[in-house]
Chains A and B, each alone.
Chain A
Amino acid sequence: MALLKVTNLSKSFGGLRAVSSFNIDIDQGELVGLIGPNGAGKTTAFNLLTGVYDPTEGEIMFDGKSVVGLKPYQITQRGVARTFQNIRLFSELSVLDNVKIAYHFHVKYGLLETVFRLGRYFGEEEDLDKKALRFLEIFQLAHRKDEIAKNLPYGEQRRLEIARALAAQPKLLLLDEPAAGMNPQETQQLMDMIRWIRKEFGLTILLIEHDMSLVMGVCERIYVLDYGSIIAQGTPTEIKNNPRVIEAYLGEEVH
């Protein structure tokens, strides 16, 4: 069964149709790429999937249930987590706190337990610390746990953002241009990491990317978006040889 099934999704801003008749199907465990030239509507599509925008029309089924009209936090709680194209960390907080916040909706202790430090408070807080630390270890950020997030180098900030999204324990991870601003070596490491987290966490991943080498190298299936509509889909090899894609990317290289 498809984990994510999007049918006929459209979004208009005033008279402008940013996304129209957008259809994708992603199965459990897949690693799928969404590519397209600048301004094709990729980020708008992400924002529709995560509830930042309400679609003008169309249906989004996640895990068998419609998520249209839900707020972003509700969609996250259903099991969709994301990163942002322009990194959005909690920049004045420590690396550890950034990850701990992502566990928020899994925490069960209530307000009274908080204020009077009763019941589940201590147990869960300790558990949280441990879990968050383990996560940071996985992402090689443990030695940075007390660092203020905004002081991390760029590559580590990207990594922290992914770690934070994973801490929310999603079924589907949406990555918005994870390689933006990275050099080829960092991109290579990122590819390895994406493959690894998919396997380790049994995740389904949808990623938007500009960097063709990353998409072609890591994705099993690719959708191509142009002028807000899907114009092609297939394996990396199929996409590379698709004349419509080449046309859409006119001027841009497709390796």
Chain B
Amino acid sequence: MDSFLQQFYQQLVNGISLGSIYALIALGYTMVYGIIRLINFAHGDIYMLGAYVAFFATTVFKLPFFPALIAAMVVSALVGVTIERFAYRPLRNAPKIAVLITAIGVSLFLEYGGMLAVSPQPRTFPALLPTGIFHIGGVVINSYQIIILAVSLILMAILTYIVHRTKIGKAMRAVSFDNDAARLMGIDVDRVISFTFAIGSALAAAAGVLVGIYYNSIDPLMGIMPGLKAFVAAVLGGIGILPGAMLGGVIMGVVEAMVSGFISSTFRDAAAFGILILILLFRPSGLLGKNVREKV
């Protein structure tokens, strides 16, 4: 196979596995934005938190992969709900800027509080799963990449089921469509918002665990860039739209892998923000979104 194509397929594989991580984080962003119109800057740090919970679960409590993953998701969900309850809920009717600044504050708190708690040094994430490398027509596929993709797909399937088939999912959609109307229909909006934070945080935590396994290194600031990029992914797909977040995540991952592979990895982050600017200027409602205009 010609080396350009080989490189292309290799980066496509890398990009899809990276992209499914972004997609998992982007789902949380998009759900929260869809429901309370807040860019939850702290979301990337929940992902970091998930990685650390799994790290301690496996090193201190010697848990295997799946229980550690579940533990990370549960703890992060609780933290996510707590943050919403104490930092965002009191500001439900405050100007948007106040909430956004609070979110930035929470994010910084998790990052630097995390440094105080677990030291700023990166930690080596234990190898929890057997490694294997597969060669398919000159393209190298790591067993971790397969696991990342599989876990992501399963979680996304569960999420889709919850949102479309369960009562709480229906309530989530109703609140996201019209907060006030949902309240008048007897939906406990606060509970729905808590639930949304719980699910979003759990997904981000899972992404954190998967990244820990994949790169086998975690640190308290690991959430900043993936968090921002996942937000870009959510905007790219159309904020508030679940399939949009998945699509956006995968596109972001692939573009990043391609830029790293063919241009230079130093431009990787610039590419992500470049996508953001382009999408905001030319299609601010995202790939799958519809345009809305303020009523005069």
**A–B direct touch in complex (beta carbons closer than 8 A):** yes
How far, in angstroms, from A47 to B296 measured CA to CA in the complex? 8
Listed in ascending order, the chain B residues whose CB lies under 8 Å from chain A are 296
Q: Mark A33-75, 1 if CB is under 8 A from B, else 0.
A: 0000000000100010000100000000000000000000000
A84 within 8 A of B: yes
A52 to B296, CA, bound (A): 8
Give every chain A residue within 8 A of B296 (Cβ-Cβ): 43, 47, 52, 84
Shortest distance from the beta carbon of A144 to any chain B beta carbon, whole Å: 26
Give the tally of cross-chain contacts (CB within 8 A).
4
A52 to B294, CA, bound (A): 11
Which chain B residue lies CB-closest to A88?
Answer: B296
Task: Tell me the complex Cα distance, A143–B296, Å.
Answer: 31
Q: What separation, in Å, do the CA atoms of A211 and B72 have in the docked complex?
A: 62
B290: nearest chain-A partner, CB-CB: A14
Assembly CA distance A117 to B296 (angstroms) = 37
- Binary CB contact string for chain A from 125 to 163 against chain B (1 if under 8 A, 0 otherwise): 000000000000000000000000000000000000000
Give bound CA distance, A52 to B295, whole Å: 10
Residue of B nearest to A53 (CB): B296
Residues of B within 8 A of A52 (CB): 296
Distance between B94 CB and nearest chain A CB, rounded to angstroms: 15
User: Closest residue of chain A to B294, judged by CB?
Assistant: A52
Total interface residues on A, using CB and 8 Å?
Answer: 4
Interface residues of A (CB under 8 A from B): 43, 47, 52, 84
B295 → A minimal CB distance (Å): 9
Q: What is the CB-to-nearest-CB distance from B84 to chain A, in angstroms, rounded to a whole number?
A: 29
Contacts of A43 in B (CB 8 A): 296
Distance A156 CA – B296 CA, assembled complex (angstroms): 21
The 4 closest A-B pairs by CB, nearest first: A52-B296, A47-B296, A84-B296, A43-B296
Assembled-state Cα–Cα distance A52/B293 (Å): 11
Instruction: Considering the complex, give the chain B residue whose CB is closest to the CB of A46.
Output: B296
CA of A43 to CA of B295, assembled, Å: 10
Tell me, in angstroms, the Cα distance from A25 to B296 when the chains sit together: 24
Bound-state Cα–Cα, A84 to B294, Å = 14
4 contacts across the A-B interface (CB closer than 8 A): A43-B296, A47-B296, A52-B296, A84-B296
Query: What is the minimal beta-carbon distance from A45 to any residue of chain B, in angstroms?
Result: 12
Report the minimum CB–CB distance from A230 to chain B (whole Å).
21
| Distance between Cα atoms of A84 and B296 in the complex (Å) | 8
Closest to A47 in B: B296
Output the least CB separation between B278 and chain A (Å): 25
| Smallest Cβ-Cβ distance to A43: which chain B residue | B296
Complex CA distance for A47 and B295, rounded to whole angstroms: 10
- Minimum CB distance partner of A84 in chain B: B296
Q: Which residues of B contact A84 (CB under 8 A)?
A: 296
Write the nearest CB–CB distance from A248 to chain B, whole angstroms: 24
B96 to chain A, nearest CB (A): 16
Q: What's the minimum C-beta distance from A39 to chain B, rounded to whole angstroms?
A: 13
Closest chain-B Cβ to A36's Cβ sits at a distance in Å of 18
How far, in Å, is A237 (CB) from chain B's closest CB?
Answer: 33
A43 to B296, CA, bound (A): 8
Closest Cβ of chain B to A254, distance in Å, is: 28
Within the complex, the shortest CB–CB distance from B291 to chain A, in Å, comes to 10
Nearest CB in chain A: distance from B224 CB, A: 35
Cα A56 to Cα B296 with chains together (Å)? 18
A174–B52 alpha-carbon span in the complex (Å): 62
Interchain nearest-CB distance for A81 vs B (Å): 15
* Cβ of A14 to closest chain B Cβ, rounded Å: 10
A181 CB, min distance to chain B CBs, angstroms: 18
Quick one: closest B residue to A52, CB to CB? B296
Within the complex, the shortest CB–CB distance from B289 to chain A, in Å, comes to 15
Bound form: Cα–Cα A200–B296 in Å = 29
Contacts of A47 in B (CB 8 A): 296
Minimum Cβ distance to chain B for residue A16 (Å): 14
